């Protein structure tokens, strides 16, 4: 926790962890305000967990979340109402900047003098031009910027700016550098760690340990690429600029948006408060995947639920993979007969490409799992262990008790993309599905989960998309024709038991696109060779080939071939 004391009564900091609450309580904090929406970053602790820790120390809490650049009058009013005279107040967000902006705006709303507020801004070195604009419209903007903030400095500019240093962002930076070393590239991502998310299913199944799926971000940034550890808070594609969380702007010639998707935990009532306890888990978070295996190992009898939200989601097979690996464990331990297993799927089929369904159905039968289609999880009461669903065939909500529940959260585009000119009406990045170039802005490209392309949102898809974007972008910078295309390839290794996988590989329209001949690896059947690929080969391919710009089995195809 990096604390900045603004006044004797008010302080700000970056993201807290539960252990920080004891320190804040000791320093006399009475009131805690969180200005960060839950789920902004994978490793972020949810507000509910922090509030519980704060309240155990007698600290009152308020959640007033907003995304950077979206401080409005209502948030300012709410924030101001929390600033009780005589109380010690601490506010936090990702860096502390948003909390400080809300504080100065609330003070200005209550009539504080501009000079006093500028003194405070100088003390903590935060630009307050935007939050103060509505209250002091006659003051020139540069007067509101402390002289030593980076916002006053010359604007950084790069040939290529990549937003998001996940699977797509890092791989694209490496791949472009391999094609043209001279291009200047900036990778923008606030996260300190990078995750191999496909490993989380294996963590939940007790096959991998969680730390093997994590590396520090700094260790993965390709040499010669500038890492800006900030979140992008806005896109201005007409000015070829992105705005950062700290108020800076970065200029680009070409932009790649690879910001992934947002896991919308708060879309299910009661879920955030109970995740990680009361038998409620999810392999969709690094810190929770080990809890899945703990629950599975401890359950000897009772009722286990596995849920799947409406599409699109990343790795559409992951919700049922969690079920198969759990059932396999219970079968091998001889307790499956005493466990009532239910798979509750908002959709209407077991898997979107029918060729793989017979193999999957045979495992559903083997494990005697009850499959409920058109059942969408809407609420969880963790303490009473009850899950509620909206079912297509019932006007009334359907409730089910559970001993454990594995939840796959609903998913949507990140707010910063959805609220920008780059989004389609669903909020996703609006690109051509073959060239991956933006439909309106020629110098903007997409990669990975953030796009509106109708492929399976998987790391395997990203592996095939990266060479297409890297080649097309470099060609366009050289004034050459953009002539390579992405065929919609995605892959989902369905872990039907510990030791066997149904390896679904398909492209646009559900066309099967196997990487190996059937005699070597038949993807429509459960095979040991696919398990070895997933467990032993693919993690190494990810860390040592894909993220380093080696394009194993991922060569791009001519555009005209994929368009037909």
> Can you tell me the distance from the alpha carbon of 469 to that of 390, in angstroms, rounded to the nearest whole number?
40
Residues of this chain, 295-314, that bind ligand FAD according to CB under 6 A: 314
Active site residue 315: yes
CA torsion, ordered 270, 275, 281, 282, to nearest 10 deg: 90
**Annotated catalytic residue, options 315, 327, 408, 412:** 315
* Binding-site member from 39, 96, 146, 166 for ligand FAD (CB under 6 A): 166
Report, in Å, the least distance between residue 515 CB and ligand FAD: 12
- When asked if residue 107 is in the footprint of ligand FAD (CB under 6 A), the reply is no
Residue closer to ligand FAD, measured from CB, 12 or 202: 202
Cα-based distances in Å from 131 to 31, 105, 149, 150, 486: 22, 5, 16, 17, 43
- When asked if residue 29 is in the footprint of ligand FAD (CB under 6 A), the reply is no
Report, in Å, the least distance between residue 541 CB and ligand FAD: 11
3-class secondary structure, 169? helix
- When asked if residue 318 is in the footprint of ligand FAD (CB under 6 A), the reply is yes
CB 3, CB 10: distance < 8 Å:
no
Q: How far apart are the first and last CA of the chain?
A: 54
Report, in Å, the least distance between residue 143 CB and ligand FAD: 29
Residue closer to ligand FAD, measured from CB, 94 or 385: 94
Residue whose C-alpha is closest to residue 76's, from 130, 150, 17? 130
CB 198, CB 208: distance < 8 Å:
no
3-class secondary structure, 131? helix
Residue whose C-alpha is closest to residue 508's, from 555, 445, 464? 464
Report, in Å, the least distance between residue 200 CB and ligand FAD: 4
Report, in Å, the least distance between residue 101 CB and ligand FAD: 17
Burial 545-562 (b: 16+ CB within 10 A, else e): bbbbbebeebebbebeeb
Residue closer to ligand FAD, measured from CB, 493 or 507: 493
Active site residue 492: yes
Residues of this chain, 234-253, that bind ligand FAD according to CB under 6 A: none
- When asked if residue 41 is in the footprint of ligand FAD (CB under 6 A), the reply is yes
- When asked if residue 422 is in the footprint of ligand FAD (CB under 6 A), the reply is no
Residues of this chain, 321-360, that bind ligand FAD according to CB under 6 A: none
- When asked if residue 198 is in the footprint of ligand FAD (CB under 6 A), the reply is yes
Q: What is the DSSP annotation of 439-484?
A: SS-TTEEE-GGGB--SS-BSHHHHHHHHHHHHHHHHHHHTT----E
69 backbone φψ class: left, alpha, beta (φ>0; ψ -120 to 50): left
Report, in Å, the least distance between residue 166 CB and ligand FAD: 2
- When asked if residue 260 is in the footprint of ligand FAD (CB under 6 A), the reply is yes
Total length of the chain: 564
- When asked if residue 462 is in the footprint of ligand FAD (CB under 6 A), the reply is yes
Residues serving a catalytic function are 315, 492
Q: Which residues bind ligand FAD (CB under 6 A)?
A: 41, 163-169, 188-191, 197-198, 200-201, 231-232, 258-260, 283-284, 314-315, 318, 414, 416, 448-450, 457-460, 462, 491, 493
């Amino acid at each position: 926790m990096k604390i900045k004391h603004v006044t004797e009564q008010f302080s700000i900091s970056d993201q807290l962890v539960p252990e920080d609450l004891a320190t804040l309580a000791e320093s006399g904090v009475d009131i805690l305000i969180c200005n960060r929406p839950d789920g902004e970053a994978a490793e972020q602790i949810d507000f509910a967990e922090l509030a519980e820790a704060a309240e155990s120390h007698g600290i009152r809490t308020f959640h007033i979340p907003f995304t950077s650049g979206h401080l409005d009058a209502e948030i300012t009013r709410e924030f101001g109402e929390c600033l009780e005279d005589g109380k010690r107040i601490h506010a936090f967000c990702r860096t502390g900047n948003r909390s400080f902006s809300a504080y100065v705006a609330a003070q200005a709303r209550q009539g504080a003098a501009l000079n006093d507020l500028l003194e405070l801004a100088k003390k903590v070195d935060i630009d307050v031009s935007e939050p103060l604009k509505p209250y002091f419209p006659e003051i020139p903007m540069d007067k509101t910027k402390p002289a030593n903030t980076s916002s006053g400095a010359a604007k950084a500019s790069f040939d290529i700016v990549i937003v998001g240093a996940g699977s797509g962002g890092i791989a694209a930076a490496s791949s472009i550098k391999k094609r043209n070393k001279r291009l200047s590239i900036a990778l923008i991502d606030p996260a300190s760690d990078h995750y191999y998310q496909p490993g989380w299913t294996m963590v939940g199944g007790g096959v991998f340990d969680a730390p093997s799926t994590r590396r520090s971000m700094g260790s993965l940034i390709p040499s010669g690429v500038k890492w800006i550890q900030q979140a992008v808070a806005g896109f201005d594609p007409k000015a070829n600029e992105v705005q950062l969380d700290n108020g800076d702007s970065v200029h680009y010639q070409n932009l790649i948006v690879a910001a992934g998707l947002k896991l919308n935990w708060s879309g299910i009532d009661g879920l955030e408060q109970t995740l990680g306890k009361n038998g409620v888990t999810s392999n969709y978070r690094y810190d929770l995947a080990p809890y899945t295996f703990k629950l599975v190992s401890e359950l000897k009898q009772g009722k286990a639920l596995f849920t799947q939200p409406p599409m699109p989601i990343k790795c559409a097979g992951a919700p049922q993979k969690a079920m198969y690996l759990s059932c396999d464990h219970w079968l091998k331990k001889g307790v499956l007969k005493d466990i009532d297993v239910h798979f509750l799927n908002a959709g209407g089929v077991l898997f979107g490409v029918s060729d793989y369904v017979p193999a999957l159905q045979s495992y559903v039968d083997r494990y005697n799992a009850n499959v409920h289609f058109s059942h969408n999880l809407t609420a969880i009461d963790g303490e009473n262990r009850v899950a509620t669903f909206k079912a297509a065939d019932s006007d009334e909500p359907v409730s089910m008790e559970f001993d454990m529940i594995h939840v796959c959260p609903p998913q949507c585009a990140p707010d910063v993309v959805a609220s920008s000119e780059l989004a389609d009406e669903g909020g996703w990045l609006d690109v051509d599905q073959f060239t991956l170039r933006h439909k309106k802005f020629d110098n903007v490209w997409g990669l990975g989960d953030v796009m509106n392309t109708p492929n399976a949102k998987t790391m395997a898809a990203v592996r095939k998309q990266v060479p297409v974007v890297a080649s097309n972008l470099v060609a366009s910078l050289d004034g050459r024709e953009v002539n390579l295309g992405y065929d919609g390839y995605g892959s989902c290794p369905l872990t039907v038991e510990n030791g066997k996988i149904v390896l679904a590989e398909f492209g646009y329209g559900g066309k099967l696109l196997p990487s190996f001949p059937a005699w070597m690896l038949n993807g429509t059947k459960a095979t040991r060779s696919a398990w070895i690929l997933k467990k032993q080969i693919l993690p190494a391919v990810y860390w040592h080939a894909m993220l380093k710009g080696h394009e194993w089995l991922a060569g791009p195809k001519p555009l005209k071939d994929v368009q037909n």
